[in-house]
Structure formats: structure tokens, C-alpha cells
Structure 1
Amino acid sequence: MAPEDVPPPPPPVTADDVDRAVRLAVAVLRQAPQDAWSAKAGSLTWDCWETAEHLADDLFAYAVQLGPRQPPLEGEVPFLWESRRPGGPANAVHADRSAGPAGLLQVLEASGALLVAMVRTTPPQTRAYHGYGVSDPEGFAAMGVVETLVHTHDLAEGLGLDWTPPADLCARVLTRLFPQAPQDTASWPTLLWATGRGELPGHARPTRWRWYGAPRS
């Protein structure tokens, strides 16, 4: 292939991408029956309610990590993360169950909005700690998008819903966080493969997976 025929890399992941991912996820999850949230979420050990809480907690955690004037580089902002039952997700964010699924999704929307706001307003040169390495606002945006896309996949399996996110959104986060992933396969199946959730012809399914959040430069 001639150099001029090589397609340009996808654009950076932005706050708008986080907003889009969360908006699409909530729109799908609103279709779930009211009594379905106790079902197991896909291949996870958590039920759908716990998984949605965990997703909201992920988005919240990424937002607050960027929040201090001097973000920590060697650990997480020390919120108290705790599980409500043995084996359940350890969250700082828990939804009031008396508010029902509508309240749960409102919590998810609010956490997503916090990350959108922080990514949009944090200087790009800012760095903050993550367990997979120090990252930047774009990296935290990409992490939030991945969490949203793949956990909505888990939820959709448990709730009996259809979920196929936009290919361009998947492609951007693959480029940003999964440099080892195949580049000649469809982006959504590749993202599921990269996060241990699906098969990809010609590629062994990973038994362990991680992303790489280091800034692009």
C-alpha cells in the first residue's frame, strides 16, 4: 500500500464521545422491563442493577481523579469504595433502590455528565493516576467510553436487549487504549475481543486483558 493510501488514524477521544456513549447506553437501557434488573449481567458475576451501579461508579471515579488542582499521580482520590455484599462491586456510588430503574439510570447519567464536564474543562497537559498507568483527560475519556460500551453489552445480555454501538466510537477507543488490537477487523467485535468478551476469527481469545492509558505524547 502506498503511503498516500494509508487511512489516517481516528481523531482523539473527546468529552462529546463520552456524552454520546452514555446517552446511547441510557436510551437502550430504558427499554428494559422493570423487573429484569436482578438478572445476571452477561458473563459477569454481578446482577444488572449492580453492574449499572458499577458503570456509574467508573464514570464518577474517572471524573474525580481529574478534579483536584493537583491530581494524584501515585494513587486514587481517597473516596471510600465498598461492596454492599460479598462478591459485589466495590463502589463509592450506590443508587437508591426505592427510586427504581429510572432512578438508577439517572445516577448513571449524572456520573457520565461529571466525566464529560471534567474532560471538557481539564487542560490536556494534566496527568492523573490510574491503575494501568498515569493518563491524561483524553485517556480518561476513552476509559469512560470503553466502560460504557462494554458494560452496556453485559447489561444488554442480561436484560434481553439489542446493543451495537457506533463503529467510529469503538475505533477511536481501540486506537487510544488498545494498540495491540488487530486493525483489520470490525471495531465493535474487536473491542469485545480486546476486553475478553468475544471471539475474533484468527485471534486467540485473551485470558487476561488490560488497556494502555499512557498519553499519546
Structure 2
Amino acid sequence: MHSYRWCGSMPSTATATTTTATTMIRRLCCLQSVSPSLPFSSASTTTKKPLVFLGAPQVSAIVLDTLLNASASPHSLFEVAAIVTQPPARRDRGKKLALSPLATHALDRGFSPDLIFTPDKAGDDVFLSNLKALQPHLCITAAYGNILPTKFLDIPPLGTVNIHPSMLPLYRGAAPVQRALQDGVKETGVSLAFTVRALDAGPIIATETIQVDDQIKISV
């Protein structure tokens, strides 16, 4: 079995992937008001459109920050209407239940706890009913960790966009960064793609490459 060891400072391919993803989201947010082909763009829009963000680990909190900061702009055409994350899990060797890092970060930023959903499955009927009530125009996912069923994907009229840390169609599925490093690639990247039922197989919106940090070593 391979494990991955960072030599030197923490800035690495994993960190660069997160940074690139947030940069791409910022660009999407900036372009929303000038391109009719992108979500939310409308010269006559005066009310911010609801967006729902899905994630769980700490890395997804960085993306949430980008979305919240962008939505706070007076020129933004969207607002983060709700957050969907994993339910509380036992941490610290199973001693206590704890919120996901994303939920904790959202609460720290003052996000309403009533708008943080933690369904066991994304197909839960009560959850989907609450989601429909928000009338989200777009959903964005980053390391959410649950499969999204068709009845979820049918809700936002503009679709669901996933941030995937690979140059799709390469390294679809789980642990794309780890698998890329194991293969010894010299560059990887980040993709924004629409979510469909097939795993990481939706239309690709944008990609950006990242050079693999030479400080990353693979040990056996």
C-alpha cells in the first residue's frame, strides 16, 4: 500500500488544487453578470438567486468562503441560501458526536443553523422537500461525499456543478489527487463540471492544470 508524505512546507499539490478551485469559482462568480451562457446572468435581475452549497471536509470550507464573500458583493446575482453536509459523526476516537468541518466553519461565519442540512442520504424525502422550498437555481458541490440521485439533480433549473480535483475525464471518482500522485504524474488539475448520474461524467465547464509539487514523495 502506498502512503503520501509531504517533505518541507505544507504548500503542495493538495493545497494548490484547493487554491485553483476557489480561483475558478471566483471567475465563475465574476463572469455570471456578463455572459448569458453562465448561471444567474441576466441584465434585468434585481433579486439575488438562491444557491445551495454541498461539502463536508475542511477543504470545502475554503470554497464556501469564496461563495459567501462573492455573494456579499452588491453586484452579486446570487446568495448562498443553504448548506448541505454530512451528519454529525463520532470523532476523537468515538467519544463524542461532532459536526462536519464545513458545518462548524459555516456556524463560525454566522450562517443560520436552520439552513444547514445534514441528511443521511441526499435522496431523503424530507430533505428534498426542504430543498425544493428554497427554490435553488444552482447547486455547487465540493467533496460532499454522497451520491446525488436524479430527484435531487432535477431540482435546480441551472443544474449542479461539481468541483473535482483532476483533469476530467482522468481520475474520476474518489481520491483523484492520491491516485494521480501514485501514478507519478507531473501535472494534475481541477475541473468544474455539471453533475449527472454517471460518476464525474457530466459536461465540463472549465479546467485548470497544476504542476505537481516536487516536494511530494510517495513512500511504501
TM class, shorter-length: under 0.3
Q: Relative CO higher for 1 or 2, CA cutoff 8 Å, sep ≥ 6?
A: 1
Decide which structure has greater helix share: 1
Decide which structure has greater strand share: 2
TM-score, normalised to structure 1, is: 0.27
